[in-house]
Amino acid sequence: MDQRTQQFLNEYLASLTEIERQRYTSFSADYFCNDEVNANHCADLISKGIKTATCSMKHWYQSGAEPMPKVGHLLVVTDWSGEPTSIVEITAVSECKYVDVTAEFAYSEGEGDRSLDWWRVAHWDFFAKECLTAEIEISEDMELVLEHFQVVHAAAA
């Protein structure tokens, strides 16, 4: 975590009681998506409480490239340039196949028109690029890790 994100996290933690602070033992900082436009858009949607979920290919966790998300983890959400925009707490983690993602989950991702149809098209394209990078085959049966989260702190506007 760089100095900006650590300071943002520290300011939030300092606003909590000692008992509240003790609940949190896992922290990280990152942006969403893999390009500037979408990373900044997602950071904005999260700060506004519109985007309350995300998902990733389980492959990244199985390969050791990323640690498996866990309930109670605090993530400092940044824009593409690394500027902190909010802090979210992971409230639920589950797994399902791409083909089994529900309309409710697609809506909670907060992107596009929030429909399952939009989600499927956008995420198929996104995961196809990730599979190419990972040198694996894309499939409707690929396992995803679904995360739900809530904003616990947002940067002053």
Give this prediction's pTM: 0.92
pLDDT value of residue 34:
85
Amino acid identity, position 55:
C
pLDDT by residue (tens digit) across 12-70?
A: 999 999 999 999 999 999 999 889 999 999 999 999 999 999 999 999 999 998 899 99
| Count: domains in the chain | 1
What is the distance between the alpha carbons of residues 128 and 123, in angstroms, rounded to a whole number? 8
Instruction: Take residue 147 and report the two structure tokens written for it.
Output: 């995360």
Structural domain boundaries enclosing 147: 3-154
Query: In the prediction, which pLDDT does 156 show?
Result: 81
Query: Half-sphere exposure of 102 toward its Cβ, with a 13 Å CA cutoff?
Result: 8
* 37 CB-side CA count, 13 A: 1
Alpha helix positions (H), the chain: 3-14, 18-22, 36-47, 58-62, 103-109, 116-134
Q: What is the pLDDT of residues 100-147, one digit of tens each?
A: 999 999 999 999 999 999 999 999 999 999 999 999 999 999 999 999
CATH number of the domain residue 111 falls in? 3.10.400.10
Q: In this predicted structure, what is the pLDDT of residue 15?
A: 96
Q: Is the pLDDT of residue 157 over 80?
A: no
Beta-bridged to residue 154, according to DSSP, are 86
